[in-house]
Chain A
Amino acid sequence: MTLCINGADYPMPNDPRTTLLDHMREKLNLTGTKKGCDHGQCGACTVLVDGKRVLSCLQLAQTVRGDVTTIEGLSKNDTLHPMQAAFLEHDAYQCGFCTPGQIMSAVACVSEGHAGSDAEIADWMSGNLCRCAAYPQIRAAIASVAQAEAEG
């Protein structure tokens, strides 16, 4: 069995206790995904599995079924994903530690159709803590991507 992350196949860990987060960070050198609490409380480790938001610190690697996308797999070559570009443009980060999780969550927030209004974005992004509190800028970045997609 292998793990498909960002389109590449990686070996599963031998130890069944290994979380997806630890496996990626400690064994696969995918350190873009961050560990802020290790308890599913902060959202910094958010990745997508088949497009759905998953807290990689709560997911045992051996139980992952589906394609994992991390922050490293979001941009194609040197071209930023529209959400990454929007975060940059709206200054939607300060220290940057929660940012990979925020961006993965934001991508799903839009694709789920939960970015219809400022209040809706706020509700559906509340699993991702940002202690620098770049919250208004994060909402603005997400709204701009949602709007651009709506305008097609």
Chain B
Amino acid sequence: MQGHRIEGADKVRGLAKYTDDLRFATPPLIALTATSPVARGRVQIDTSAALALPGTRCVIDHTNAPRLKRAILISMCEPGTRMPLQSDQVEYAGQPVAIVVADSLHAARDALAALIVTIENHDAPAVVLSDAENRLKSVRRAGIGPGAMKKGDADAALADASVSAEVNAHAAPHHQNPMEPGAVVARWDPDGGVTVHAAVQWHHLDASMIGQAFGLSWADGMTGLLGRAVLGTSGKSKVRLHNQLSGGAFGRNISYLALLLAPIAAKVAGGPVKLVQSRRDTFSLMSHRSEVKQRLRVGADTDGKLKAIVLEPDIARGNAAFVEPIGEMPMQLYAHDTHRLTTRVAKLDLPGAGWMRGPGVAHAIFALEQAMDDLARQVGKDPLDIRLANYSEKNPANGKSWEAKALLEAYEVGAAKFGWRDRPKGGSVRPDGRVSGFGMASAIDLGRQFPAHATVTMTKDGRVVVSLAVSEMGQGLLTGLTGVVAEMTGVSPDRVEFKREATKEGYAAGSIGSTGTYSNAAAVKTAVEKIIKKLAKAGGLPKSSKLQDGMLVAPNGESAAISDLLSRTGDLTAKGRAGLTFGASKQAKASFGAVFCEMAVDPITLDVEVIRLVGAYDCGRVLQPKIARAQLIGAMIMGMGQALMEETRLDRKRGHWTNAEIGEALVPTQADCPHVEAHFVGDTQGKPGALDFKGIAETAIVGVSPAIASAFADATGGVVHHLPLNHAARLAAVSRAQFSFKEAAE
């Protein structure tokens, strides 16, 4: 059926296979992970009772696990810092301390229950920033973003500013929590290589991680990975990673521990093993978005035009090099004269933090937009007008012009669709007795490009086969890329095939940072252009000819049937690569948006309901509007979750997550879901022959949390600088504002 996702029919019939659904000729043994109940100490495990059970095959802990080598991991995730099961040292609660391997899921559960895990000498952990003042260190880099920046004398400009605002924002940690808990199947092969089935976001990166850990072959090491990224050669990889459909990911399925735990288990058990993660396991065996505090001060003139931005984030990190890149984006949104960024990072006794949709930017823009609202109140401007007053034609951080920027159109379309200019006064009483509030915010996310190498084959029987190890996590990449290939080759989408599962397929850019479609499409385009040249040569047509509707068509209208040309040349294959300079350009590239929120607040209970979210986004060219809009809407609703409910709490004494279940670490439900509208603005058609894609989902989570906080402040006068805006934070803010609903009603 036209216009549906390629894997859609399988998904609605329950036939789509996720890793735990796979069945094998030799059924794998089942492995479960035992984790530490406390954060620090030395672990001792009594395995005798577990081993005495009839279904138990083996128990693996630091005493008998294979020794793993260090891995250099550009994802900065936990295995780059510490490999699992290598010592008796416990460094966080939820750390894997043993694996039980058994004949069945039931037997594995019994074995897990029979393990006696003792942690000795455990001392008090620090798992929240307020307990770790002494661990804060200034950094020059914060993950992929800068830790320190300076433009002019921001402190002097701040002191001289006519108007200033200070925001002390605090964001609690939270988890990505995609619906699939996940499993990894591993089997060691007779040649010493390993076959792994799992869902990953960046195939070759994680294949390399496994290869490095087990010291398999230079081709699987960092040298091999770089070789693949730069040259596109596959080398003789001994890691056969088969990438499966992912039941959501949102940044979580990158370099996670189970990718190593399953091969460890298979090695000791001497046969294929499936390691199954429970929901609770995913809270510590996989990453989370860490706790962040931001002190942000801005100075402006009496018109509200920014003179100085001084941002001082304190960022928690766990047992991974990854640091939430808070400093990357705030200086790139609004025109300003001076800025200073000074970042401090504290290593806490927690699992490795990692990637989550809108890394850094989702939190950073929350603080910046709160400051903009404060300035607007002080200078007596509408929130939209103060943003218009600070609009920047160029990237204010580096002076580069933007490749495309339809932010003004986003403000205009979003405001018009929402009815912003005609909105009732904040604090006005609704027919149901609740109080109305309205807020808005800007959205931005940088456009990036990563290396990719595609091999494209056009066959005599009219198919196009693309070898490219891309990931499908629900974002619609397969459908999107198939559309791109169909358009470039003039072949119907059902004749396009992707070979994407195995490590031997082409090096694909990871599905990270909303860059997958663009980065990978660029490589496919290069390959298709080479095939066109070969076809043109065979048909005596100019190289500038194009493929459309089964024909190669020259600019002068002359044409030849592709099938005729291919019957002469045989199947044609070409390799294409792109992104080796990471999209370096004289121009800056970003997606932009504006989001508007209507909220109703119960004046007695302070219960809040988001009534409407209306967003307008410049995401460049829109290839599949239905899928792209779904991405925007889904990310906006996730942004509402970030704003109102998403928070994983910690026990400060033992250091463990206290609500590590999907029904307790709240995420938005159907009933929480407001009326959501997403509109596209900018050049949605793209320039002829150009890809012109920009990121979608990461941009749409940005701006939602400040728009919601802004609406709450508009309704009640209570300014909440805490994420999520939970009941306690709302109550405290309203108390601070000494707001009286009775007066507002009158």
Task: Report which A residues bind B (CB closer than 8 A).
Answer: 15, 17-18, 22, 25-26, 29, 31-42, 44, 70-72, 74-75, 80, 84-85, 87-89, 91, 93-100, 103, 121-123, 125-126, 128-139
Contacts and interface: CB of A to CB of B under 8 A. Distances in A.
B4 to A, nearest CB: 5
B462 interface: no
A95 B178 contact: yes
Contact of A132 (B248, B278, B673): B248
A132 to B, nearest CB: 5
A41 B661 contact: yes
Contact of B662 (A37, A121, A139): A37
A97 B248 contact: yes
Nearest to A100: B14
A81 B247 CA distance: 23
Contacts of A74: 13-14
Given A32-B14, A32-B15, 11 more contacts: A25-B21, A26-B105, A31-B21, A31-B23, A84-B13, A91-B8, A93-B12, A122-B673, A133-B638, A133-B668, A134-B630
Interface string B633-644: 111111000000
A115 B113 CA distance: 44
A135 B661 contact: no
Contacts of A15: 106
B208 interface: no
B670 A96 contact: no
A134 B178 CA distance: 13
Contacts of B245: 95-96
A18 B105 CA distance: 10
Interface in B77-115: 104-106
B16 A131 contact: no
A92 B26 CA distance: 36
The DSSP consensus for interface residues of chain A is loop
B23 to A, nearest CB: 7
B663 A41 contact: yes
Contact of B12 (A84, A126, A131): A84
User: In this complex, which of A32, A33, A74 has the most chain B Cβ atoms within 10 angstroms of its Cβ?
Assistant: A32
Given A71-B14, A128-B670, A95 B246 contact: yes
B716 interface: no
B1 A132 contact: no
Contact of A38 (B11, B279, B635, B671): B279
B181 A36 contact: yes
A139 B475 contact: no
Contacts of B250: 131
Contacts of A18: 106
B20 interface: yes
Nearest to B678: A136
B673 A44 contact: no
B627 interface: yes
Contacts of A97: 18, 178-180, 247-248, 474
Interface in B469-497: 473-476
11 contacts: A35-B20, A35-B181, A41-B662, A84-B12, A91-B627, A94-B631, A95-B247, A95-B473, A96-B474, A97-B180, A135-B668
A95 B12 contact: no
A88 B4 contact: yes
Nearest to B668: A133
Contacts of A135: 637, 668, 670, 673
Given A15-B106, A88-B9, A97-B247, A36 B14 contact: no
A107 B554 CA distance: 53
B597 to A, nearest CB: 16
Contacts of A87: 12
Nearest to A97: B247
Contact of A131 (B20, B178, B278): B178
Nearest to B12: A84
Nearest to A99: B11
B180 A36 contact: yes
B669 A129 contact: yes
Contacts of B611: none
A53 B1 CA distance: 30
A34 B662 CA distance: 15
A18 B630 CA distance: 38
B515 interface: no
A129 B662 contact: yes
Interface of B: 1, 4-5, 7-18, 20-21, 23, 104-106, 176-181, 245-250, 278-279, 473-476, 626-627, 630-631, 633-638, 661-664, 667-673, 676
Contacts of A25: 20-21
A131 B248 contact: yes
A103 B13 CA distance: 9
Contacts of A29: 23
Contacts of A130: 179, 670
Contacts of A44: 179
Nearest to A139: B670
Given A36-B662, A95-B473, A129 B179 contact: yes
B650 to A, nearest CB: 20
A73 to B, nearest CB: 9
User: In this complex, which of A44, A91, A96, A129 has the most chain B Cβ atoms within 10 angstroms of its Cβ?
Assistant: A96
A70 to B, nearest CB: 7
A4 B245 CA distance: 30
A10 to B, nearest CB: 17
B247 A96 contact: yes
B633 A136 contact: yes
A126 B669 contact: yes
Contacts of B7: 96
A89 B626 CA distance: 10
Nearest to B671: A126
A133 B476 CA distance: 14
B610 to A, nearest CB: 13
Contacts of B663: 37, 39-42
Contacts of B12: 80, 84-85, 87-88, 93, 96, 99, 103
Contact of B670 (A37, A88, A126): A126
Given A42-B179, A87-B12, A131-B248, A94 B630 contact: yes
Contacts of B11: 93, 96, 99
Contacts of B661: 37, 39, 41
A9 to B, nearest CB: 20
Contacts of B634: 94, 132-134
B527 to A, nearest CB: 28
A31 B15 CA distance: 8
Nearest to A124: B670
Contacts of A94: 248, 474-476, 630-631, 634
Nearest to A27: B104
A109 to B, nearest CB: 10
A137 B204 CA distance: 34
A84 B16 CA distance: 14
Contacts of B177: 131
A17 B109 CA distance: 12
B179 A98 contact: yes
A17 B21 contact: no
A137 B630 contact: yes
Contacts of A134: 630, 633-634
Given A34-B179, A75-B13, A133 B247 contact: no
Contacts of B670: 121-123, 125-126, 128, 130, 135, 138-139
Given A122-B673, A133-B668, A33 B14 contact: yes
Given A38-B278, A130-B179, A133-B673, A91 B15 contact: no
